[in-house]
Chains A and B, each alone.
Chain A
Amino acid sequence: MRKGQHRFVAGFLFLPVALYLIFVIWPYIQTFGYSLTDWKGQSQSFDFVGLDNYTALFEDDVFMGAIWHNILFLVFIPVITILLALFFAFMLNAGGRGRSGGVSGVAGSKYYRVVYFFPQVLSLAILAVLFGAVYRSDGGGMLNGVLIGIGLVDSQNPVEWLNEPNVVLWALMAVVVWHGVGFYLVLFSAAMQSIPRDIYEAALIDGASRTQSFFRITLPLLWDSVQTAWVYLGIAAMDMFILVSTMTAGDYGGGPDHHSEVMSTVMMRNFLLYGRSGYACAMGVVMLVLTLIVSVVMLRATRRERIEF
């Protein structure tokens, strides 16, 4: 029985591990190698420059600004998305007035559950086009059209949403949150449904309010899912490339005047447009390290004792 088992396991593991090494780990190593050179991106000739790229990075205001924007995204996107998703999920599953003494969602919760999921079905590219029309900077934009219609905005002076340094980051954040809430709502819903009804009913009998049952029962029992959501959203916040590069001004986005720049857009511009590919690889390495730190910190910070039920 034992005999040959190891070989059997190794046989199954060999291919995936090899693929993982070749296509994931090896490129990382290569990127690190390139980050120590002045590679210009279009041929295989370059010189070794040591850590010059890394020292230059820390004096690059644009890249430093981009890190700061990523941190802002990292703080706000997970918090807002998870709170909204939790709230909606709770209302859909246990928020209804107990009609026959049991625990149920608000009226029409099945319908809402489907509707909330719609945004998740859209690809990021479609999302960018859609919200491009929402944020459009003249009277033809959805937001401006409505605001001009009700007289809040002067039609000669529409709000240039994505061209306002103080608005652009929030406008982008709103898109990510709108897109993400539905998915996490479904995730949390599924987790909530696996919580035994009797616990809620027992709480009800003891006179617990909706708020109390949410904080005392739902949230603790959902903690595993929240933790997963947190890591996923944190990683999404560290990326943001597609939305920023397609929706904001400039080559690979980042406008106006670098006010919406994220690490990946600065990297792409240096890599492809400016031909400073070695430098861009150094940015890639910094991104990798930061993302790893964020993931580890988030997993640690949200670690709690598991509750079996």
Chain B
Amino acid sequence: MGSTSGENNGTGENGTTGVGRRALIKRSAALGLVSVPAMGFLSACASGGGDDDSGQNEGKTSESNPFGVKKGTKLDVVIFKGGYGDAYAKAWEADFEKKHGVTSVHTGTQEITGKLQPRFNAGNPPDIVDDSGAQQIPIDVLHKNGQLLDLAKVLDAPSVDDPSKKVRDTLIPGTIDAGMQEGKVVALNYIYTVWGLWYSGKLFKDKGWEAPKTWDDFLAVCKDAKAQGIGGLAHQGKFPYYINVAIMDLIAKKGGLDAMKAIDNLDPKAFVGSDAATEAIEAIYEVVEKGYLMPGTNGLTHTESQTRWNQYKAAFITSGSWLENEQLKTTPDDFDMKFLPMPVLADSALPFEAIRAGSGEPFIIPSKAKNLPAAQEFMRMMLSKDWATMFAKEANSLTILKDGVDPNVQLRPGTQSTVEASRAAGDNTFRFLYTEWYSEMGTAIENASNELMAKRIQPKEWLKRAQAAVDKQAKDPASKKNRRD
């Protein structure tokens, strides 16, 4: 595809000039060598022209074909092949071909940026992309470059299951907000995710612990665990994203939705001067100070720490609901994985049952996609019960489609516990958006959290650093366009 040509050029260059430059090399070995590491990066910079040949992929529209998909055309699908695999997408594509006669060119990869950045720059992007994983192209960056299609047309199209309803009305409320940039939905976060703590039902039963609802109870379990040589809280220290889930959940629960929006809206008192933030970060620091962290957890990767937790080396771990699928291989059969909403501090604005819930795994349609009608139809079908059930079967997770899974599908214990937790939470859900809007600010807060967990800074300093990150972001004129009420 587009990206491989760059690599081919690279090897061609090395192979041919090796001989021609032989004489030169002695004198300017340095000059030639410098170029080698820079090659990959630089070839990504090389620009290319764009061409526009839309129109030939448009067919006639009808009630069952609202976007006018044309038979015999091709759809270029790129799927992030991570924790959820890509078998579900292949099942979709087969079904799509059966129903619409459109063949799909399927790419399953982890290297989203490497494969797609050159194509976006050349004006030759795929038709639909699952832009996820560690190497995703940040949505805010793509949007600022004008590369994303406004998905309003798909969301306002009639639902596949019930044509009298719009697609947007068949989804779990609030789940499309995460894909919003500057007031427009440009990414469809397809998978329904809940975030919080996780524990082993078996370990808790063996030790006689109750799942804690308050922060004091949580500390009590940690204390007892430590006394028995088990770590209290584990987190994925190499990626401070995870501990920020705990910190931010505590803030949101203590201070309510206003405390959360203050952060997303870059309030000058989001952290410094916020009681909720102060109490939350002090509570987390108490865990560090009392030695309730699993030893060494600050330096472990997500797989290392999660595996340790699977081996009963820690009582709790922070994560989102992809955890169960990610740990399938290392989880013992009788582990009985359970989700736990973040325990609450005293006098919290939100109840214990409140959870951070929302949607992850953004699917995007590039605005310069060649086959827009088919891409939009593909996305509409993703939001049908048929396809949502295919997804639940192949990838073991829920989608944002309300009651989207056939009740006959048997769920694993962890996934089942998230279904129960969302039911208990009802409307008490919240979701931070700053992570989607401001990559740079998110990284700065993560760095501060990493320092706090390693006891190198105190809560006061953490608040200052987090506030500094917020203030810095607020100075960027582009940030004025993002706002939630």
Contact = CB atoms under 8 A, between A and B. Distances in A.
B34 A30 contact: no
B442 to A, nearest CB: 10
A157 B295 contact: yes
Interface string B2-28: 000000011011001101110000000
A136 B299 contact: yes
Interface string B110-130: 000100010011010000000
Counting chain B CB atoms within 10 Å of each CB, the highest count among A13, A239, A273, A284 belongs to A273
Contact of A292 (B20, B34, B308): B34
Given A17-B20, A43-B145, A235 B120 contact: no
Contact of A15 (B20, B39, B440): B20
Interface in B293-332: 294-301, 304, 308
Interface string B35-53: 1011101110111001000
Interface in A118-177: 132, 135-141, 144, 155-158, 160-163, 165
Counting chain B CB atoms within 10 Å of each CB, the highest count among A17, A140, A239, A299 belongs to A140
B227 interface: no
B300 A15 contact: no
Contacts of A292: 30-31, 34
B99 interface: no
A65 interface: no
Contact of A42 (B13, B137, B454): B137
Contacts of B10: 23
Counting chain B CB atoms within 10 Å of each CB, the highest count among A257, A271, A274, A298 belongs to A257
Interface stretch (B216-224, B237-245, B272-280, B421-429): B237-245
Nearest to A232: B33
Contacts of A231: 29-30, 33
B16 A15 contact: yes
B450 interface: yes
A160 B298 contact: yes
A286 to B, nearest CB: 12
Nearest to A269: B443
B123 A44 contact: yes
A176 B446 CA distance: 28
B34 A257 contact: no
Contacts of B134: 251
Contacts of B298: 137, 160, 163
Contacts of B446: 250
A41 B439 CA distance: 15
Contacts of B9: 23
Contact of A163 (B30, B121, B123, B299): B299
A139 B305 CA distance: 12
B466 to A, nearest CB: 13
Nearest to A155: B295
A42 B121 contact: yes
Contact of B17 (A19, A40, A155): A19
A30 B137 contact: no
**Interface of chain B, main secondary structure:** helix
B108 interface: no
A31 B42 contact: yes
A215 interface: no
A12 interface: yes
B369 to A, nearest CB: 14
Contacts of B20: 12-13, 15-17
Contacts of B50: 44
A88 interface: no
Counting chain A CB atoms within 10 Å of each CB, the highest count among B10, B120, B295 belongs to B295
B295 A158 contact: yes
Contact-residue bracket for chain A? 35 or more
Given A41-B145, A292-B31, A136 B17 contact: no
B295 A255 contact: no
Contacts of A135: 299
Contacts of A13: 20
A249 interface: yes
Given A44-B121, A281-B45, A284-B41, A138 B34 contact: no
Interface in A8-23: 12-13, 15-17, 19-20, 23
Contacts of A27: 38-39, 42-43, 45-46
Contacts of A268: 41
A294 to B, nearest CB: 8
Interface of B: 9-10, 12-13, 16-17, 19-21, 29-31, 33-35, 37-39, 41-43, 45-47, 50, 113, 117, 120-121, 123, 134, 137-138, 140-142, 144-147, 237-240, 291, 294-301, 304, 308, 439-440, 443, 446-448, 450-451, 454, 456
9 contacts: A23-B43, A31-B45, A44-B50, A231-B29, A250-B446, A264-B37, A269-B443, A287-B38, A288-B38
Interface of A: 12-13, 15-17, 19-20, 23-24, 26-28, 30-31, 34, 40-45, 132, 135-141, 144, 155-158, 160-163, 165, 228, 231-232, 235, 239, 241, 249-251, 255-258, 264, 267-269, 271-275, 281, 284, 287-288, 291-292, 295-296, 298-299
Across chains A and B, which 5 residue pairs bring their CB atoms closest together, nearest first? A137-B299, A138-B296, A295-B30, A16-B20, A275-B141
Given A155-B295, A163-B454, A272-B117, 15 more contacts: A19-B13, A26-B46, A40-B145, A43-B145, A43-B147, A44-B50, A45-B146, A138-B300, A138-B308, A158-B296, A249-B240, A255-B447, A273-B138, A273-B440, A288-B34
